[in-house]
Structure 1
Amino acid sequence: MGEPTREPTVRVFVAVAPPDEAKTELERALGPAYVAYPGLRWNRIEDWHITLAFLGELPLPALESMRPVLADAAAARPSLELALRGGGHFDERVVWAGVDGELDGLHRLADDVRGAIRACGIDFETRPLRPHLTLARARRGDTSAVVDVAGRLAGFDGLAWRTRRLHLVASNFGRGPGVIRYRDVDAWEFGGAPAV
């Protein structure tokens, strides 16, 4: 007998994304770092996002079961005012931009999203939410570059913007040396009135 057919899977997460004008502002601020450190694995600007729940590898049918509950979660929540501010790094390997603004609301949104996904019977590793936007990863030996870029972002104070949609995002498998690429599986407008 042959091996059983394995159901196709996809790596997914749920996120919010800054608008183009906020991303362009940060991209301009990063211009000198792009020139100084071309060896870093820079994320593409169109892929910048703030992860609320990382779900890992899921079978394709699980995505269908999540769509209605994520649509409901977005419809029930107000948009939030956020901004990209400052920066830092994780373990001298990953450089990120910080997120500021209505962070309590962002945490509540993440809790709602995670609860809705668990209610679908989907289990995933839960880590505390640390709102950030990943910008680049170091290759071996480039840790000083990460620390320097994070330092350059310390004074960055981006414009305020409102969240518009909740995104269900799939990534390529990110294996190997190439850049990880993302694509929206679906996205839902926030339905509640903006918080006052």
Structure 2
Amino acid sequence: MPRLFSALSIPEDVASALSLLRGGLPGARWMDPADYHITLRFMGDIDDAMARDIDETLAEIHRRPFDVTIEGLDSFGGARPRAIIARAAPAAPLMELQADLERRCRRAGLDPETRKFTPHVTLARLRDASPLDVADYLSTRSAPRSITFPVDHFVLMSARASVGGGPYITEAVYPLLRASPA
């Protein structure tokens, strides 16, 4: 039973720039830059028939390519931080693609996603990290300025159920369509 999610791939040069932010935070398990991505929709552990249905519905998505901008660092978890992230700007094309994915996944039979979509790249997962250490880390680091990259596809990825944070496998690639000439 695959554990699936749809995502935007992070180009190698962007992953390399973000990887420079690794280190210096006790309790952090840093993600491998090859596993950096922006999750669009987590599907979870689904059977092979549902996986085929999801693949078919995702292949029907027709959207134009767009740009994504990484706009800063943050953490998830509030008083009990659980991740260090690089925030992506919630630009309209990104939000619309995610909403389209959500609608299609529901139509295919998946339960609605309960968490609000916050576009981000997870840089580290935290275990017993002190909120003070996280605040210190964030105050002394900043994401490289103006990291913008083009998005011309999204992917369906799988993860091992027992291990959070990769390695991830790309199961399918769905190209975004260029505007047809008028």
Q: State the superposition RMSD in angstroms.
A: 2.2
Q: Deviations over 1:107-137 (max 9, x none)?
A: 1101111111222122243322111111111
Distance change (3 Å), C-alpha of 1:53 and 1:153:
farther
SS in 1 for 2:127: coil
Query: What is the Cα deviation at residue 21 of structure 1?
Result: 1.1
Query: What is the Cα deviation at residue 153 of structure 1?
Result: 3.9
SS in 1 for 2:122: strand
**Match 1:25 to one of 17, 31, 43:** 17
Distance change (3 Å), C-alpha of 1:193 and 1:152:
farther
> In the alignment, what sits opposite 2:168?
182
* TM-score (normalised: structure 2): 0.86
2:82 is the counterpart of 1:96: no
Q: Structure 2: 5+ residue runs without aligned partners?
A: none
Determine the C-alpha separation between the residues in 2 that align with 1:121 and 1:137: 30
Distance change (3 Å), C-alpha of 1:111 and 1:93:
same
Determine the C-alpha separation between the residues in 2 that align with 1:146 and 1:180: 22
2:53 is the counterpart of 1:60: no
2:118 is the counterpart of 1:126: no
Indicate the structure (1 or 2) with the bigger Cα radius of gyration. Answer: 1
Distance change (3 Å), C-alpha of 1:139 and 1:153:
same
Query: What is the Cα deviation at residue 143 of structure 1?
Result: 4.1
Determine the C-alpha separation between the residues in 1 that align with 2:100 and 2:60: 10
Query: What is the Cα deviation at residue 148 of structure 1?
Result: 3.0
Task: Give, as a single letter, the amino acid of the residue that structure 2 aligns with 1:89.
Answer: S
Determine the C-alpha separation between the residues in 2 that align with 1:122 and 1:132: 23
Determine the C-alpha separation between the residues in 2 that align with 1:155 and 1:59: 38
Query: What is the Cα deviation at residue 190 of structure 1?
Result: 0.8
Using the TM superposition, name which of 16-25 and 151-160 deviates more. 151-160
**Match 1:112 to one of 100, 109, 119:** 100
Task: Give, as a single letter, the amino acid of the residue that structure 1 aligns with 2:87.
Answer: G
Query: What is the Cα deviation at residue 146 of structure 1?
Result: 3.0
Q: Contact conserved, 1:56 with 1:124, CA < 8 A, in 2? A: no
Determine the C-alpha separation between the residues in 1 that align with 2:129 and 2:25: 12
Identical counterparts, % of pairs:
26
Distance change (3 Å), C-alpha of 1:173 and 1:158:
farther
Q: Deviations over 1:63-106 (max 9, x none)?
A: 11111211111xx1011111222110012221100112x61111
Q: Contact conserved, 2:65 with 2:177, CA < 8 A, in 1? A: yes
Q: Contact conserved, 2:102 with 2:112, CA < 8 A, in 1? A: no
SS in 2 for 1:77: coil
* TM-score (normalised: structure 1): 0.80
SS in 1 for 2:114: coil
Q: Contact conserved, 2:28 with 2:129, CA < 8 A, in 1? A: no
Determine the C-alpha separation between the residues in 2 that align with 1:103 and 1:133: 15
* Paired residues, number: 177
Q: Structure 1: 5+ residue runs without aligned partners?
A: 1-8
Determine the C-alpha separation between the residues in 1 that align with 2:86 and 2:157: 20
